[in-house]
Amino acid sequence: MKLKVTDISYSGSGVAKENGKVIFLPCVDIGEEVEVKIEKSMSKFDNGKVIKVVKASPFRISPPCPYYGECGGCSFQHLTYERELELKKIILKNELKKVGFVGDIAVEPSECNYNYRNKIKLTYCNKELGYISSTSHKFIKIENCLLADKEILKAVRVVEDYLKKHSYSNLKSVTFKSFDSGVMVIFLFTKREKFLYDKLLDRYPIFIAVGDILESNKTKIYKEYNKTIAKYEILGESFDVDAKAFLQVNKCVTEKLYKYVIENVDGKIVINAYSGQGLLSRLLAKKAQKVIGIEVQSSAHRIAEMIKTDNMQNFNAKVEAIISSVSKAVDSVVLDPAREGCNAKVLEEITKSNIKNIIYISCNFSTLTRDLKLLTKFYKILKIKCFDMFPRTANIETCVILEKF
Ligand SMILES: C[S@@+](CC[C@H](N)C(=O)[O-])C[C@H]1O[C@@H](n2cnc3c(N)ncnc32)[C@H](O)[C@@H]1O
């Protein structure tokens, strides 16, 4: 069947219609005419596959990655980067209409749109490393993920050689994190297992953990060669950070985002909620009279305590547990939650408080929209800016500035 793509969905897929029914199509552009095969039919929509591009977008290019379309991690490699940014803007505008926002959305590009990720997590399967496809759910061996930092790719090759020599039955994944002090390799096991040391790994700090996910309080660390502390420089300042804690994945965009947050913080006393390792708190503390950081993960909190200045106070707690007790006399709050967005209690306490300025950073616009539905009853959206933290993928980092009515 031949269809015309008329819109773009929140997942980065194109939208076409046949007899009123929506058909989602990956790897297309608005305006393209395509020959389609229906892969999966649901009651309200179908998922289709493009067999042939009949009328191509002027922005169509050849995707550089051999796994593109197969691994499911990227959504825009078939288009120029400029077009990707336009589409991301359309996606955000469509989404934010739901909260009545019809203004312009500024977009801050990423200087590097490949090799920007300072962290990748590869699944271990039959002595090989790869991604689990988000479309087919099959394991795909990955030798060269174009999103990963080049130093990480060198380390992947070393670890692959190591894994050819040593077999593990409980190894779940290997995470590679790149810092200014070098790459760190993290082996995550589902059950404790004897780790076989090999000279091959000598050049990298290694740490071995047991658990389901990394960057969680529940993961048990059972072995560390060297240390999990690394050096990380941002906005001209060098910090000690912990590989067990969260760090934004694209440094050049993070610098732009942090600068923007600092510029838009209005007031003397600031809460930095979901504050991670406290790097942003520390940068905010140069401007504000007092910064209160709140972070649940212990290793991230420990770093925040190590780097704190006299006008910083850190709480190792859930934001929802302490926000009511720390929000008195606060002028501004920075919210940077994980994909789940903010807990309802957090939003309720903020709306009851005298906080006049909110800066909401989000990596998931669905939960952002959900949370804005409540906040916009008490706060006006002043501006929205998209920071392209995740080029070539459909993920969008958004920063919303709100002011109390
Ligand atoms: C998206 S990261 C942001 C970190 C930090 N703002 C930064 O730029 O590095 C979200 C952080 O929130 C923490 N977190 C998740 N749920 C939380 C909660 N309920 N209360 C406090 N912190 C939480 C996570 O451990 C993580 O460090």
Q: Residue 163's Cα: distance from chain center in Å? A: 28
At 185-215, the pLDDT tens digits run 999 999 999 999 899 999 999 999 998 877 7
CB distance 248 to ligand 1 below 6 Å = yes
Taking CB atoms within 8 Å and a gap of at least 24, the contacts of 193-200 are: 193/168, 193/169, 195/223, 196/166, 197/225, 198/162, 198/165, 198/166, 200/158, 200/161, 200/162, 200/165
pLDDT band at 228 (very low <50, low <70, confident <90, very high): confident
CB distance 110 to ligand 1 below 6 Å = no
Can you say whether the dihedral through the CA atoms of 263, 265, 269, 275 is positive or negative? negative
Alpha-carbon distance of 105 to 44, in angstroms, equals: 30
The Å distance, Cα 280 to ligand 1 centre, comes to: 12
CB distance 228 to ligand 1 below 6 Å = no
| Amino acid letter, 31 | G
Cβ-based burial of 133 (10 A; exposed 0-12, middle 13-18, buried ≥19) = middle
Burial 5-15 (b: 16+ CB within 10 A, else e): beebbeebbbb
CB distance 274 to ligand 1 below 6 Å = yes
* Predicted local distance difference test score (pLDDT) of residue 218: 79
pTM of the model: 0.96
Given a cut of 80, is residue 135 above it in pLDDT?
Answer: yes
Residue that the structure tokens 């591009």 belong to:
53
At 261-288, the pLDDT tens digits run 999 999 899 999 999 999 999 999 999 9
Mean pLDDT of the chain: 95
User: What is the radius of gyration, based on Cα positions, of the chain?
Assistant: 22
Domains of the chain listed by start with CATH number? 2-58 (2.40.50.140), 119-232 (2.40.50.1070), 253-404 (3.40.50.150)
Can you say whether the dihedral through the CA atoms of 122, 128, 133, 137 is positive or negative? negative
